[in-house]
Structures are given as C-alpha cells and as structure tokens.
Structure 1
Amino acid sequence: MSRTPKPEWAPHKAVWIGFPSHPELWQEDLDEARDEVAAFAAAVHAGGKGEQVLLVVADDEAAEAAKRLAGFAQIVVEPFGDIWLRDTGPIIAGDRVARSFRFNGWGGKYDLPGDDDIGQRLAAQRGKRVERHDWVLEGGAIDGDGTGLVVTTEQCLLNPNRNPGLSRAEIEARLAADLGYDRVLWLGNGLHNDHTDGHVDNLARFVGEGRLAIPVGGDNDPNWQVYQQAAQRARAGGVTVVPVPSPGRVLRDEEIVPASYMNFYIGNASIVVPIYGAPDDNVAVREIQALFPERRAIGLRADAILTGGGSFHCISQQIPA
C-alpha cells in the first residue's frame, strides 16, 4: 500500500481538532478561541453529514468546556502543550501506520510539555502502529496533491533551527523514503511574522492534482511579493497556479499578523475558511467554493485562534478513510 498520504480532499474517517486548554497561553482570548474552535468543529461535523470530530483537550476542565460547546464531538483527553495538531499530530497514509516525526517547538521557540509525543499517543489510541522518524518535520510545513508531489518552503524545511545537518537533497530523500513524496516543489519564504518560519499551509494549498492555490495581494499587503515569488516558482515547476484573494494587511495590537485564507480545512462535507473582517472575506469564500463544488464552503471568524499564531488547518489533522 502507498506510503504517500492521500490529498486532504480524499474521504476522511475522522479529524482530530485541538481545543484551547491552557488559560495561561490564551489569557483574555481563551473563551473566544474556544467558541471559534467549536464553530469550526460544528462546520466540519455538518450535522453528521461530514466526519467524526475528535476534540482533543488537555485536562478535565477543558473537557467540560468542550462538551458544553460541542456536544456532538467525541472528547479525547490527552495532555498537550498547545492546539496545533497539524504540526504535532501523526501523519497517516492509507494504511494502519502513523508516521511520527520529531517536534522541537518550531525551531526551539515554544517548548511545551506533551507536544513532543502527543502524535504518538493519539495514533496509539486509534490502534495505529507508530512509525517514528528521527528528523524534525511539522505537518503544516508540507502539502501534497496525492500523486507524490509535495510543496514546501525553503524558509522552514531548510531552516538551521530544524535539521541543521541535512542538505536539501537529504531532506528530499527523507520525504521520499518516509512519506513517498518523489517530487518536491520548493517555494521560498512564508508569510510576514509567521512564527512557524514560513509554513506552506498559510501560503499555498493544493486544490487538485497539480493545481496550487496561491493568494494575490495588493500594494498594501505585507506579503504581496511573497505571493508573487511563490506563484513564479510554482509555474516554473510545472504546477497550475489558481489565484485567490488575500485578506491583506491584518493588524492585532498594531502589529501585522499572518492572516491567510489558505489556512482552510477540506472536510468531507465542508471547506471551512478562516475570515478576519477583511474586505475580501466573502470573495475568498466564494472563490474557494468554486474550487470544491461538491462541498459547502463556510467562512468563519478566526481572530482569537490567530492570536496563538494559526487557524483552522493548523489545529486539525485528518484521519483518512
């Protein structure tokens, strides 16, 4: 059976979603972040027409809050540091094996108890055999189209704070050996002020085989050149670029935050798109809807989740059917 993970639009059996569990990390944003996560979970569940939602909480208090807000979900209590399960959770291909990679807190920035092995524990709960790989890789750093093609950024995977002893060729070899990716499309940098060092799931997402969605920004957009350079590299690599809007310059406490419509989640029934009160919110949801006509695109506010540094895709990890 193929080691290559299925594309996100392939059917899911369930999805893990991280639920904000540590008041000291979220402070005044805790309640709003929990509400946003619950709304996201409900959109993915789609009244039972979508997929099973596994809300992962770190303690009993968070479990009670999750039950109140999302009674349709299965609550999974496992200690963890923060909710970014796209990066800390296991990567599962089309078999019973879960691939688990080393996690070093996004290059040593956020070392929180439980994040280094939450993926192994979640996989074991689902009866998966865990295959461990001794190099740093976060799920948000890569995106595949199901054919063996994967996209990533040099800013992240070639960053010396991840795997300083590995060359580009060695990383490509490991992506092939461990995940079956035999072709790597290298983009350059990620979004401005993205503390993940340029995760690709905030920059560019596959929306079909060989079709990569990349935002287009205006002159006031802090990332317009990043988008432009990414599109140039993608086209040079033989990939069809699908342009979508950018939310533009989004500020939080007068600081630019890495807001992106690209952090959408592709569920069985829904495409859930983060929105921010930006002028192009509705346009972005409509254009993403057009890419997935068999699903319903839903725009949901993600302002509080973004205070932690990510959005809907970052807090979720699907379990393929």
Structure 2
Amino acid sequence: MKDIFAIAKNGEATPVELGYHFPAEFAPQESMWLSWPHKEESWPGKIEKIYAPYAQFVKEVAKGQKVNINVADEAMKAFAMGHLERAGVDLNRVFFHFFPTNDAWCRDHGPAFVINPNAEQKKAIVKWNYNAWGDKYPPYDLDNQIPIRIAENLGIPYFKPGIVMEGGSVEFNGQGTLLTSTACLLNKNRNPQLNQAQIEQYLCDYYGVSNILWVGDGIIGDDTDGHIDDITRFVNADTVVTVVEENKSDENHEILAENLDLLKKMRLENGKQLNIVELPMPSPVIWEDQRLPASYANFYIGNDVVVVPTFRDNNDQKALDILTDCFPDRRVIGIDSTDIIWGLGSFHCLSQQEPAV
C-alpha cells in the first residue's frame, strides 16, 4: 500500500476517502493548542492585562489534559512560564514548542485534526490556507505554516486542500453535521473562485461531514466576517446553544433573531430537528468607541471543563447557569474576558483542540 504521508501531501485522496473525520469539541481530547499572545497591535494599550485571564484559562484546561503552546523563542517561553507559574498552572501538563507565530488566534491558524480510529495512522491534520480573515492583518506567513510545523513535530500526515478556511468558522456535532455562516464562508475575501456548492464539497471531503447547515450574519464588531463560534455552538450531538439579543433596539437583535429562525428550520444528518437552547448576550462592550464582539458562545470545551468568557455583566451568571445545565459532566467556569475581547476574540478563538483517539 502507498504511504499515507505521500497520499495526503500530494492530494491523491481526501480525508473522507480514507475514513477520517473531524470530531466534535465535546469528544475526548488529548490536548489543547495555543499560540502565546505577543502582538501588541492586537490589544493596543492593553496586552499586559490579558495575561492573567489567559493564564487562568490554561490552568483550568490543564487540569484535564495537556496544553501545547507555540512560542517564538526561549525569551517568550520564560515570559509565558512566569505568568503561568503566578496563576498556579500545573506546568507538568504544559508543553512549549518553538513555532513562531504572527498572532495568537490558534483556532484559525492552528491545526485541524481529523481522526480515523480504524486506520494504522489514526490522526492527521488538514492544513487549510490562512489569510488573516481576508488579508485584514498582514503579515500572516508564520501563522500559515503552523499546521505543517505541528504535523511534522507529531509525525502525522497532513492534507492541503489549497483553499482558505478558519477553525472559528465551522462547528461540528461529530455525527456528520457541520454548522457555518454565509457571511464568512461565502465572503469574497476568502475564496472568490468558489461558489457555495463547491465550498460545501471541500467541507465534506476534508472534514468528513455529510450535512451542512448555514446561518446568516455574525455579530456586530466581529472582524472575522461572522464566525459561527460567536453565535451558535453544539453542546451535544443534537443540541445547540445560540445567542439571542432581547433588546430590540440593539443592532444584534435582528441578526440573531434571523439566525434563530433559520436554526428552527434545520435538520440534522438523521433528519431530526435541532434542540435549541437560547443564550443571552451581554450588554454592549465598548472600548475606545468601538463595539467589541463580546459573546458567551465563544467558550472552550475541554475534557472536564467548559471555560466561558464573562464581561462584568448582569447576564454573566445567567449564561453560566444555562451552560452548566448543558454540560452536566463538566465544570463550567467563567473567566473575565473584558480585556481579552479588545483583541476581537476570546477563549475559543485563542485555542484549538487535539482529539484523543
């Protein structure tokens, strides 16, 4: 049989043809991948304030799994370790890799792990192209190489579809259904040469899904053009939480009401309707006259914890209570993301899971 490393790299077969699929985030994980934040332009005037909540995030996830962190060099590693030690992180669970990055958003530039438990090579990576959300924030050459660096480090094959795709733009139930948004995936600043049907084919071929569901626009302030991980998330195979805005004068109200209506009409891969749990939005978070994309939906699901961004808002506890009901087998922890969200993303945007297999 031909070597799967060559087959994958040369594009001779797609992951789905070889029996691979992208698991749900709530499936067992081996580790979480991060790229240590260092780009001051992403948090102008505030970057020093993000390290304490970021380290707390690492601490909570590391209680249940390994955490891998991309850093540029020994100096950045020492800086990171100082913050992690102060937060009380179990450093036996943390592993540093000298893979330099342009920015911290590992959900979008990091590796998309696919698995086939029945294969000799049980794990592989899909190396999508990355262009910093439509060439908004160059340079991104280092970020674009991260999946290859990780695949080579782990000694696993990687597939190269050759199109732009970001991890925050897709959401999975692990049974064949993928949820995404037209605002992002059909945006001409990503893959202008492809129509919706062609993009769906890439999603099926490389993520191993069969049922693709589309919502519309993303929330106000989201510079990714509407990533799904700020709007609607799977909490189990047939249930989503989706954010809603009760204030009819808020500019998110209509966008989110339309998405809710779309979700109610959708069907899973087995023909069943979605179970839909509504999640409130926080009051608008404004910094330097800019509305930020604050959303409780940008949580990270780890092996034993769900880390939820909070915003010093009256709805924080309500959101935590709703998510606690959705994840009875995990600790649901709120961590203040008021400073982190100045970077226009939160814990889910900053992280990428590596599944256990």
TM-score (norm 1): 0.95
Counterpart of 1:97 (choices 96, 119, 124) is 124
Query: What is residue 280 of structure 1 aligned with on the other side?
Result: 315
Distance in 1, matches of 2:19 and 2:322, equals 32
User: Which of these two proteins has the greater Rg computed from alpha carbons?
Assistant: 2
Q: Secondary structure at the match of 2:160?
A: strand
Q: Secondary structure at the match of 2:199?
A: helix
Counterpart of 1:8 (choices 2, 22, 25) is 25
Please show how residues 75-94 of structure 1 align to structure 2 within 5 Å.
75-94=96-115
Distance in 2, matches of 1:78 and 1:174, equals 28
Is the CA contact 2:295–2:309 (under 8 Å) kept in the aligned structure 1?
A: yes
Give, as a single letter, the amino acid of the residue that structure 2 aligns with 1:268: N
Change (3 A) 1:233 1:25: closer
Query: What is residue 56 of structure 2 aligned with on the other side?
Result: 39
Change (3 A) 1:161 1:23: closer
- TM superposition shift of 1:205: 0.4
Please show how residues 25-64 of structure 1 align to structure 2 within 5 Å.
25-46=42-63, 50-64=64-78
- TM superposition shift of 1:24: 4.9
Is the CA contact 1:19–1:56 (under 8 Å) kept in the aligned structure 2?
A: yes
Please show how residues 48-197 of structure 1 align to structure 2 within 5 Å.
50-71=64-85, 72=91, 73-94=94-115, 95-112=122-139, 113-197=141-225
Quote the sequence identity (%): 34
Query: What is residue 223 of structure 1 aligned with on the other side?
Result: 252
Distance in 2, matches of 1:18 and 1:285, equals 26
Change (3 A) 1:9 1:2: farther
Is the CA contact 2:221–2:344 (under 8 Å) kept in the aligned structure 1?
A: no
- TM superposition shift of 1:208: 1.1
Q: Secondary structure at the match of 2:50?
A: helix
Query: What is residue 325 of structure 2 aligned with on the other side?
Result: 290
Query: What is residue 244 of structure 1 aligned with on the other side?
Result: 279
- TM superposition shift of 1:31: 1.6
- TM superposition shift of 1:25: 4.2
- TM superposition shift of 1:104: 1.1
Change (3 A) 1:2 1:295: farther
Give CA deviations for 1:129-182 in whole Å, capped at 9, x if unaligned: 111111110010000100110000000000011010111111111111111111
Query: What is residue 261 of structure 2 aligned with on the other side?
Result: 232
Q: Secondary structure at the match of 2:127?
A: strand
Give CA deviations for 1:295-320 in whole Å, capped at 9, x if unaligned: 00000011222111100000111110
Give CA deviations for 1:174-233 in whole Å, capped at 9, x if unaligned: 111111111111000001121100000011101111211101212254312122111111
Q: Secondary structure at the match of 1:231?
A: helix
Query: What is residue 202 of structure 1 aligned with on the other side?
Result: 230
- TM superposition shift of 1:27: 4.1
Distance in 2, matches of 1:60 and 1:194, equals 33
What's the C-alpha RMSD, in Å, of the aligned pairs? 1.4
Q: Which moved more, 1:89-98 or 1:21-30?
A: 21-30
Give, as a single letter, the amino acid of the residue that structure 2 aligns with 1:100: K
| Unpaired runs of at least 5, structure 1 | none
Distance in 1, matches of 2:153 and 2:180, equals 29
| Unpaired runs of at least 5, structure 2 | 1-17, 86-90, 116-121, 268-273
Distance in 1, matches of 2:262 and 2:59, equals 37
Distance in 2, matches of 1:176 and 1:223, equals 31
Is the CA contact 1:21–1:59 (under 8 Å) kept in the aligned structure 2?
A: no
Give, as a single letter, the amino acid of the residue that structure 1 aligns with 2:231: L
Q: Which moved more, 1:67-76 or 1:88-97?
A: 67-76
Query: What count of residue pairs does the alignment treat as equivalent?
Result: 318
Q: Secondary structure at the match of 1:133?
A: coil
TM-score (norm 2): 0.86
Give CA deviations for 1:260-310 in whole Å, capped at 9, x if unaligned: 000000000100000011110011111101100110000001122211110
